[in-house]
Chains A and B, each alone.
Chain A
Amino acid sequence: MTLKNIRLGRAENLSEQIRKKHNLPEKGLIIIESRNPDLHEEFKLIKEGGIRDYLLTLGDFKEVEISA
């Protein structure tokens, strides 16, 4: 499934129903991924300092040198 967009959000701003459905805690940074062709949303909790770990779940970075 292709990732089409992402939104940043807070678990504390979601309804309890959505938190329960997606097994989310009461607080924390979350990323809402929208995928298609079957419209599909995934809610992912990003742990403290964990943005790189999240990005690596989307794929490895290519080994390309970027000069200053």
Chain B
Amino acid sequence: MVTIIPCLEVMRAVTDKNISGSSAQLRVEAFHLSLDLKSLTDVEIILEGKMYERLKARLEDDHKVFFEGACKIDNSVKDVSTYDVISAIKWIANSESKINRVIIIGENTSNFNDIINEDIVCVKPSDFIYKVNKAREIFEKKQFTSFHDSIIAMFFFQI
């Protein structure tokens, strides 16, 4: 299984009333592709709880039903005051990586340098989109027997 964790800047773009600029569009596209992957293969999307609490200020009730249905809200460190969103995402990613591979989507990938390993990657939205499309392409060429394997290969092995 693969766990995808979008960072705050990605979710801010998704829920921005007045979205503008190509970077913001890429962030929205990356979130869309995450949902697409969830519908296609063994993928879960986690929204960090502190981040989601902040996003909720922008959401109507039906939006909340959507995010809480499509994503898992992880409140592991919700009441730990010393954790900010980035350290909370690191904690969740480390925890998830014991059982799943983890893809963090964020603009400031260097924030996560200290937790990157063979099971955790952090990619910019543009790289995420490129790799998912490439994984789709190599799966369609039958280089892998499952789409899930081609996703794993693209993100966690140098191919």
Q: Which A residues fall within an 8 A CB radius of B? A: 2-10, 29-31, 46, 48-52, 55, 58-64, 66, 68
Q: Nearest CB to that of A58 among chain B residues?
A: B62
A-B pairs with CB below 8 Å: how many?
Answer: 79
Q: Nearest CB to that of B33 among chain A residues?
A: A49
Is A55 a contact partner of B18 (Cβ separation < 8 A)? no
Is A49 a contact partner of B18 (Cβ separation < 8 A)? no
Q: Which B residues fall within an 8 A CB radius of A? A: 8-9, 12, 14-19, 28-29, 31-32, 35-36, 38-40, 54-55, 57-63, 65-66, 69-70
Is A9 a contact partner of B39 (Cβ separation < 8 A)? yes
Neighbouring B residues of A60 by C-beta, 8 Å: 17, 60
Is A55 a contact partner of B63 (Cβ separation < 8 A)? yes
